Amino acid sequence: MPLVGVLALQGDVREHVATLRSIGADVREVKRAEQLDGLDGLIVPGGESTTIARLLTTSGIRAALEKSLAGDLAVFGTCAGLILLASEILDGRADQWSFAALPLSVRRNGYGRQIASFETPVTVAGVGTVPGVFIRAPKIETWSSDVEVLATHDHGDGNHPVLVRYANVWGCSFHPELTSDDRVHRLFVDALR
């Protein structure tokens, strides 16, 4: 099985680790730059994007992850992780940065604030219908034609991608780790083989 890291600075670390282990993946929690070495893939979890960004910098992981993204490390960002991978963050803070690894723009809290959180079925290409848990979820507003859209959601304003892939970088607006359905994780892990 591939060795999959979970960025363990803040957010839904435990939930991703548990899901990955349940499907038999080898898992490493990543808290230091050298823990990126030897990984086949990395999950950047949901949480608070500006907090994770700050911790990436203070922990020394930011530069190492930038180098890994430029190489061949597969990275999957969920919710806040998607924001950190996007090439453009709409309505972000003035000092907010991203890795610009996915050619798309996201709007933070695009589906509403915490009180507007919701769960809805999402149909994923090649997988079927999975539960989509949207909590202060980023909305993908624009995307390059090179981005493979694996799932969309219409929240009353047209279909927007909610699960995408661009080469070895994946992004997801919802939280697949917060359900008992492991098929989105399996899709990512299977792509690492």
Residue-wise pLDDT for 89-105, tens only, equals: 998 787 889 999 999 99
Question: Residue 28 is part of which domain span?
Answer: 3-191
Q: What is the pLDDT of residues 42-69, one digit of tens each?
A: 999 999 999 999 999 999 999 999 999 9
How many domains does the chain fold into?
1
Q: Which residues are catalytic?
A: 79, 175, 177
What CATH number has the domain bearing residue 83?
3.40.50.880
**3-state SS string for the chain:** CCEEEEECCCCCHHHHHHHHHHCCCEEEEECCHHHHCCCCEEEECCCCHHHHHHHHHHHCHHHHHHHHHHCCCEEEEECHHHHHHEEEEECCCCCCCCCCCEEEEEECCCCCCHHHCEEEEEEECCCEEEEEEECCCCEEEEECCCCEEEEEEECCCCEEEEEEEECCEEEECCCHHHCCCCHHHHHHHHHCC
pTM of the model: 0.95
| The pLDDT of residue 109 is above 90 | no
pLDDT of residue 93: 82
